[in-house]
């Protein structure tokens, strides 16, 4: 047996849904306002994971324009039956007051790499849909239901309805099968069948520090579901100083040699701030003679910092190079855009060979057409850098390097134009909509400008260079806690991202050419 350290996926990889088909493991995670929708990963040794073709990468299939931050794609669910892959996901259009407009969709494919079918609309009674394939061939959808009535529990429990693939839709009555426990905020329902019992695995307690995994079982799919005698089976609640926090939202898989694993989300906060967002971890699962399951060795239900798996052959995944030089035909899958495809956002690898050209889009505070290309921050000890050619002619023209959480929280080292300083570099920081800026520092009109961000824990130091050798500090040390789930106003479901961007707030059609993008972690 080998031991694998948690979390297995660092950075913003929340709401994991795990599936095994033969010797292949596939994992789907939420992407919210980021595009493409749903991140799909593949492994054969449970330790090394490669990002594969995203299932929702076509603007005609996924339109997130105008979507609020931390809305969009929530909690995908992956399953497989009779040669077909089934992927469910929610698009959360609104999350205001007690109203959430949560629309659930299903797409299918005979190959995990696609092509995927056009989305089938399911329902909008709540979020976290998942599909259960019963051994009589029937398919059942479960999802949490939202109760918008002010005098009722907003997390209204778990509902069940049959899905007919022939009719490409839900059929028959809606059954309320589980109210949830006193832990509350019942979500993330997944159904499993084992030794004659139906098991419901849910997330409860809310996705903050009270998060946990709840288990209930029944002899019939319609319930009533009896709650696990030692519920919850996993939680970091009350153990503030424990390295792995916010454990919850579990998904089970049985390995080829009939061991069971539970994938779940968690975070590793710094002083209580989850800058990297919610990550994916794994726990070993053991069944007891009374037909319940639990996590062996989990003192006080705490998530273990490592899990054991059989010595599977190593699945070698090529580590991305430190320097992405944009010489290739496609953008690496690590890069995401906001709400629309790179092409729709005016991001091109072909307009200038060997560069990525980003046409000036709307401001970083917008929900529409932003020229921003970013990847997940996966460590708090790393250096990010880029080289950019840009000719701003107005203060409305900006381009540069950004550490970004959402439209209300980012730190941006930008090249722009100032009436006094001319072409210059400066920093714009937005902290829950409060903006601060540094004095512009002049740089030469011609030639590339090199920008760098050094992150060391919660400290972010930008610097710049005009020759790529000598770097000058730019502005003060900035606070990365501003870019955390806990600090941002409203929902903080994503995580810190680092990237390159360009804005044209005057409509002159300006663009910027980025020669390369460096991402170097000091720790693995």
Residues that bind ligand 6LW (CB under 6 A): 14-15, 30, 74-75, 127-128, 187-188, 203, 207, 211, 248-249, 265, 493
Return the sign of the alpha-carbon dihedral for residues 191, 92, 145, 182.
positive
- CA neighbor of 124 nearest in space, from 142, 106, 102: 102
Report, in Å, the least distance between residue 137 CB and ligand 6LW.
Answer: 28
Name which of 11 and 385 has its Cβ closer to ligand 6LW: 11
93 three-class SS: strand
Of 444, 436, 435, the closest CA to residue 415 belongs to 444
Instruction: Please identify which of the residues 33, 45, 95, 187 carries the catalytic annotation.
Output: 187
| Residue 257 burial (C-beta neighbours within 10 Å; 0-12, 13-18, 19+) | exposed
Residue closest to ligand 6LW, measured at CB: 207
Give the three-state DSSP class for 376: strand
- Give yes or no: 513 in active site: no
CB atoms within 10 A of CB 98: 11
Q: Which is nearer to ligand 6LW, 16 or 346 (CB)?
A: 16
The two most distant CA atoms of the chain are separated, in Å, by 77
Cβ distance 470 to 392 under 8 Å? no
Please report how close the Cβ of residue 187 comes to ligand 6LW at its closest, in angstroms: 4
Closest to ligand 6LW by CB, 31 vs 386, is 31
Q: What does the alpha-carbon distance between residue 406 and residue 369 come to, in Å, rounded to a whole number? A: 14
- To ligand 6LW, the closest distance from the beta carbon of 204 in angstroms equals 9
Going by the DSSP 8-state scheme, the letter that residue 482 receives in this structure is: G
The 3-class SS string of 21-85 reads ECCEEEEEECCECEECECEEEEECCCCCCEECCCCECCCCCCCCCCCCCCCEEEEEEEEEECCEE
Q: Name every residue whose Cβ is closer than 8 Å to that of residue 93 and which is 6 or more positions away in sequence.
A: 67, 71, 101, 102, 103
Nearer CB in complex with ligand 6LW: 77/409: 77
Q: Considering the complex, state which of residue 30 and residue 463 has its C-beta at the smaller distance from ligand 6LW.
A: 30
Alpha carbon separation from 368 to 68, 216, 337, 365, 498 (Å, rounded): 10, 43, 11, 9, 19
Between residues 376 and 423, which has the closer beta carbon with respect to ligand 6LW?
376
Q: How far is the CB of 128 from ligand 6LW (least distance, A)?
A: 5
Minimal distance in Å, beta carbon 411 to ligand 6LW? 24
Least separation in angstroms between CB 13 and ligand 6LW = 11
Question: Cβ of residue 119: shortest distance to ligand 6LW, in angstroms?
Answer: 18
| Token pair of 475 as six digits | 């502005």
Closer by beta carbon to ligand 6LW, 209 or else 292:
209
Given 15, 95, 204, 340, the catalytic residue: 15
Identify whether the C-beta of residue 356 lies closer than 8 Å to the C-beta of residue 497: no
Joined together, the tokens standing for residue 310 give 């059989």
Give the pair of three-digit tokens for residue 191: 């159904």
Q: Check if 389 is active-site.
A: no
Between the CA of residue 476 and those of 413, 429, 492, what are the distances in Å? 11, 11, 26
Neighbours of 319 (CB within 10 A): 8
Catalytic positions: 15, 187
């Amino acid at each position: 047996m080998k031991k694998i350290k948690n979390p297995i996926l660092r950075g913003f990889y929340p709401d994991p849904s795990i599936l095994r088909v033969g010797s292949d493991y596939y994992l789907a995670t939420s992407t919210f306002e980021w595009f493409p929708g749903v991140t799909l990963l593949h492994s054969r040794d449970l330790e090394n994971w490669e990002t594969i073709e995203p299932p929702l990468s076509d603007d005609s299939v996924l339109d997130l324009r105008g979507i609020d931050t931390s809305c969009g794609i929530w909690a995908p669910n992956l399953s497989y039956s009779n040669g077909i892959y089934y992927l469910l996901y929610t698009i959360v259009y609104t999350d205001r007051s007690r109203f959430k407009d949560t629309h659930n969709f299903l797409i299918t494919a005979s190959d995990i790499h696609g092509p995927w079918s056009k989305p089938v609309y399911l329902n909008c009674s709540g979020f976290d849909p998942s599909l259960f394939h019963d051994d009589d061939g029937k398919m059942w959808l479960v999802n949490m239901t939202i109760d918008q009535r002010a005098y009722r529990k907003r997390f209204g429990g778990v509902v069940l309805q049959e899905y007919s693939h022939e009719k490409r839709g839900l059929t028959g009555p809606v059954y309320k099968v589980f109210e949830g426990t006193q832990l509350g905020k019942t979500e993330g329902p997944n159904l499993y069948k084992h030794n004659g019992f139906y098991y419901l695995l849910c997330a409860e307690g809310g996705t903050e520090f009270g998060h946990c995994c709840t288990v209930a079982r029944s002899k019939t799919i319609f319930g009533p579901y009896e709650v696990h005698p030692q519920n919850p089976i996993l939680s970091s609640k009350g153990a503030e100083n424990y390295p792995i926090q916010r454990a919850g939202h579990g998904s089970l898989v049985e390995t080829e040699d009939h061991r069971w694993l539970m994938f779940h989300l968690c975070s590793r906060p710094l002083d209580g701030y989850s800058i990297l967002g919610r990550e994916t971890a794994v726990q070993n699962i053991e069944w007891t003679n009374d037909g319940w399951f639990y996590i062996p060795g989990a003192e006080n239900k705490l998530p273990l910092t490592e899990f054991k798996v059989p010595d599977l052959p190593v699945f070698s995944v090529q580590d991305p190079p430190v320097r992405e030089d944009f010489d290739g035909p496609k953008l690496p899958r690590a890069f995401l855009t906001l709400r629309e495809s790179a092409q729709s956002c005016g991001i091109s690898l072909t307009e200038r060979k060997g560069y990525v050209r980003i046409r000036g889009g709307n401001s970083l505070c917008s929900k529409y057409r932003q020229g921003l290309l970013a990847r997940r921050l996966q460590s708090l000890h790393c250096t990010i850098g880029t080289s950019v050619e840009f000719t701003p002619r107005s203060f409305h023209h900006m381009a540069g390097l950004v550490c970004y959480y959402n439209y209300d929280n980012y730190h941006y080292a930008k090249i722009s134009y100032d009436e006094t300083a001319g072409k210059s570099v400066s920093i714009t920081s937005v902290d829950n909509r409060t903006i601060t800026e540094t004095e512009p520092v002049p740089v030469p009109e011609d030639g590339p400008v090199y920008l760098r961000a050094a992150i060391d824990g919660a400290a972010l130091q930008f610097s710049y260079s005009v020759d790529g050798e000598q770097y000058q500090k730019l502005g003060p040390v900035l606070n990365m806690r501003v870019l955390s789930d806990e600090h941002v106003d409203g929902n903080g479901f994503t995580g810190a991202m680092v990237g390159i961007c360009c804005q044209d707030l005057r409509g002159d059609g300006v663009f910027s050419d980025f020669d390369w993008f460096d991402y170097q972690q000091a720790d693995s």
